[in-house]
Amino acid sequence: MTAIATSGRRSALTRNRLPRYAPWASLAVGLIVGAALSTLVGFSLFGWGLFAAIVYTLVYVSWSGAVEGGRKARDKLATSLVIGAFIIVVLPLFSVIWTVLEGGIKGFLTPGFLNTSMNGVSGIQDNMSVNTGGRVLGGIYHAIIGTLLITLWATVISVPIGLLTSIYLVEYGEGRRLARAITLFVDVMTGIPSIVAGLFAAALFATIFGPGTETGFVASIALTVLMIPVVVRSSEEMLRIVPNELREAAYALGVRKWRTILMVVIPTAISGIASGITLAIARVIGETAPILLTAGFATKINFNVFSDWMASLPTYIYFQILNPASPSNPGPSIQRAWGAALVLIIFVMVLNLVARLVARIFAPKTGR
């Protein structure tokens, strides 16, 4: 009986559906009509893509609406928009990476780029290298040193403070008013614009040591303001997910609280804490604005963060683009800027990858 029913009539469950080739057909229509439309306003690859996407979506969705009904059509529209959003994002972000790679490789591979400074390199040398086709002089050694030292000092200051604060919040502060105040203040600090942090450090040192105090250490203080909340937030999160049973087990063995924290809680959370700190470093290593206001503009190598101006990679990029050594021939400066950008991106990417590896490798071992 059922067999007759299935063959004899159309199933009540089948609704009209688009044929399998529908998306491809719509895409073809989109590409053709899109090409025509973009030719009308002046052909460009971007315009073609844009019109093709719009026409495709219109055709596909209205076709679906006619055959399958409104609900299906809305579902397909949402899918198209979501995928469209993805494509829209991929384009500029890959363009950024491509631009850095394309512009940076040449500067990066120039001999001496990584191990010389900008000391003595001015518009004269740049003009000469443009005119004679010689290699571009000047490098980023001083900026690398500056970035590493400034970031190192910021890390040395913020990690103990941030980590101890998160320990206070999780282990001691439970429900106290002070803890709530700290949490609120850390949240506020997270929202401080980076340039305001730079202004603060500049104002602080100007008040204490007189105006114009610009050294690497001032920049480190500025970065500390930005780094502490990140360290506190991530460490706090990691300490909170340490199961309470572990603490109680240690207490039950008669271990004191501080030793429990040092021997049980922190080792359990260490991978998360370490990766959080690495990500915080990655975040501040690329900060430009605070260093711009605090470390001055150096062209020489300086190993001392406590005196004299210091360069850094981000400010190096900024100055090379905005104030090229030779305004008439900005080419060499631009090339150096992209080279520095490539190095900076490599730093950031390596730090991010290290953070992930740390999180994975040192994660608490499970049973297996």
Partner 1 sequence: MAKTLHETPSVTKGRDVTATQTKTPESPKELREMSSGRGAAGDRIFSGAALAAGVLILVALVAVAVFLVVQALPAFVAPQSQIANGQGFWPYIFPLVVGTVIAAAIALLIATPISIGVALFISHYAPRRLAQILGYVIDLLAAIPSVIFGAWGISFLAPALVPGYTWLSNALGWIPIFAGPPSATGKTLLTASIVLAVMVIPIITSVCREIFLQTPKLHEEAALALGATRWEMIRMTVLPFARPGIISAVMLGLGRALGETMAVALVLSSGPLIASLIRSGNQTIAAEIALNFPEASGLSLNTLIAAGLVLFLFTLAVNILARWVISRHKEFSGAN
Partner 2 sequence: MSKRIDVKDLNVYYGNFLAVEGVSINIAPRSVTAFIGPSGCGKSTFLRTLNRMHEVIPNARVEGEVLLDGDNLYAPGVDPVAVRSHVGMVFQRPNPFPTMSIRDNVLAGVKLNGGRLSRSEAQEIVESSLLGANLWNEVKDRLDKPGSGLSGGQQQRLCIARAIAVKPDVILMDEPCSALDPISTLAVEDLINELKEQYTVVIVTHNMQQAARVSDKTAFFNIAGTGKPGKLIEYAETATIFNNPKEKATEDYVSGRFG
Positions that interact with partner 2 (CB under 8 A) = 1-2, 5-6, 11-15, 17, 71-72
Residue 2 interacting entry, from partner 2, partner 1, none, C-beta within 5 to 8 Å by type? partner 2
Closest CB 263 distance from partner 2, rounded Å = 39
Of the pair 128, 161, the CB lying nearest partner 1 is at 161
**How big is the CA angle at 308 (ends 125 and 330), to the nearest 5 degrees?**
25
Nearest-approach distance from CB 81 to partner 2, in angstroms = 19
* 114 φ/ψ angles, rounded to the nearest 5 degrees: -85, -20
Q: How would you label 243-266 residue by residue, b for 16+ Cβ within 10 Å and e otherwise? A: eeeebeebeeeebeeeebbeebbb
Tokens 């057909």 — which residue? 25
Contacts of 4 (CB under 8 A, 6+ apart): none
Tell me which of partner 2, partner 1, none is bound by residue 11, counting a contact when its beta carbon lies within the kind-specific cut-off of 5 to 8 angstroms. partner 2
Residue with smaller CB distance to partner 2, 64 or 194: 64
Q: Which token pair is 85?
A: 């959003």
Told to check if 338 binds partner 1 by CB under 8 A, we report yes
Per CB under 8 A, the list member of 53, 149, 238, 289 interacting with partner 1 is: 289
318 binds, among partner 1, partner 2, none (CB under 5 to 8 A by kind): partner 1
Nearer to partner 1, 145 or 284 (CB): 284
CA 293 to chain centre: 22
Candidate residues 145, 150, 225, 295; the one interacting with partner 1 per rule CB under 8 A: 225
Q: How far apart are CA 44 and CA 115, in angstroms?
A: 43
CA distance 284 to 220: 10
For partner 1, give the closer residue by CB, 76 or 142: 76
Q: Footprint of partner 1 on residues 165-204 (CB under 8 A)?
A: 165, 167-169, 171-173, 178-179, 181-182, 185-189, 191-197, 199-200, 202-204
**Buried-exposed string 348-360: b where 16+ CB fall within 10 A, e elsewhere:** eeebbebbeebbe
Q: Does the footprint of partner 1 cover residue 329 (CB under 8 A)?
A: no
Q: Which of these segments, 10-18, 27-35, 207-215, 267-275, binds partner 1 (CB under 8 A)? A: 207-215
- On whether the CB atoms of residues 236 and 316 are closer than 8 A, the answer is no
Partner from partner 2, partner 1, none contacting 227, C-beta within 5 to 8 A by type: none
Positions 349 through 368 that interact with partner 1 (CB under 8 A): 349, 351-352, 356
| Position 130 contacts partner 1 (CB under 8 A) | no
In the complex with partner 2, the residue whose CB is nearer, 14 or 366, is 14
Residues contacting residue 143 through CB under 8 Å, at least 6 positions apart:
117, 311, 312, 313, 315, 316, 340
